[in-house]
Chains A and B, each alone.
Chain A
Amino acid sequence: DVKVTQSSRYLVKRTGEKVFLECVQDMDHENMFWYRQDPGLGLRLIYFSYDVKMKEKGDIPEGYSVSREKKERFSLILESTSTNQTSMYLCASSHLGSNQPQHFGDGTRLSIL
């Protein structure tokens, strides 16, 4: 089975702190994604990567950056957190192809105080 592991299930941070969210997948997937999910909204894509050291902005990249130094690992970085970044963050991975399903981690619920 595909396993996508996110480093933390719950995080509480203060405004202005730097936060790293780590994601690791074990199925040699080319694509990796970071989403955030907020009540009443669909999943919104922050950044994605289709190869090592490659990154593309999604729909809401402002206030975030990413790093993909190894194929299995995709990190989301919040340089200076703000309260509007309180959300559920989900990492996903998939093979290339339009009909490939995405496999998700369990999510990180991040609260910024």
Chain B
Amino acid sequence: ILNVEQSPQSLHVQEGDSTNFTCSFPSSNFYALHWYRWETAKSPEALFVMTLNGDEKKKGRISATLNTKEGYSYLYIKGSQPEDSATYLCALTDSNYQLIWGAGTKLIIKP
């Protein structure tokens, strides 16, 4: 059974600082790993989908890496801005093609 753990649960970061957080999984038996951003009062928005060990994706100041051998993915935000405040969700596509979701990391950027 796939399990997705995200850490930390919440994070306060000063504006301008860079930060990262983790999605970990005990099994590499999945098809893809997804990162989503969920801003308050909006719908979750897909950021990245990664499928291969060593994959790296980047969108502006946000990037992500995938290490299936050691069972984790990192999401990095460079030079945090207030608009980065959101809950970041990680999910795995399992063998039934369903997404198994982590509980999320709530990021708060302090001005």
Contact = CB atoms under 8 A, between A and B. Distances in A.
A42 B43 contact: no
Please tell me the size bucket of the interface on B: 20 to 34
Determine which residue in A40, A42, A48, A105 has the highest number of CB atoms from chain B within 10 A of its CB, and name it: A42
Nearest to A50: B97
A85 to B, nearest CB: 19
B43 A41 contact: no
A105 B41 CA distance: 11
Interface string A95-113: 0011111111111000000
Nearest to A6: B43
A99 B51 CA distance: 7
Interface in B1-44: 4, 31-32, 34, 41-44
B98 A58 contact: yes
Nearest to A58: B98
Given A42-B4, A43-B89, A99-B32, A104 B103 contact: no
Contact of A104 (B32, B44, B93, B100): B44
**Binding site of A, secondary structure by majority: helix, strand, loop or mixed?**
loop
17 contacts: A40-B103, A42-B102, A43-B91, A44-B101, A45-B98, A45-B99, A92-B44, A98-B32, A99-B31, A99-B49, A99-B93, A102-B46, A104-B44, A105-B43, A106-B42, A106-B43, A107-B43
Interface of A: 4, 40-45, 48, 58, 90, 92, 97-107
Given A44-B101, A90-B44, 11 more contacts: A40-B103, A43-B99, A43-B101, A45-B99, A98-B93, A98-B97, A99-B31, A100-B49, A101-B34, A104-B45, A105-B43
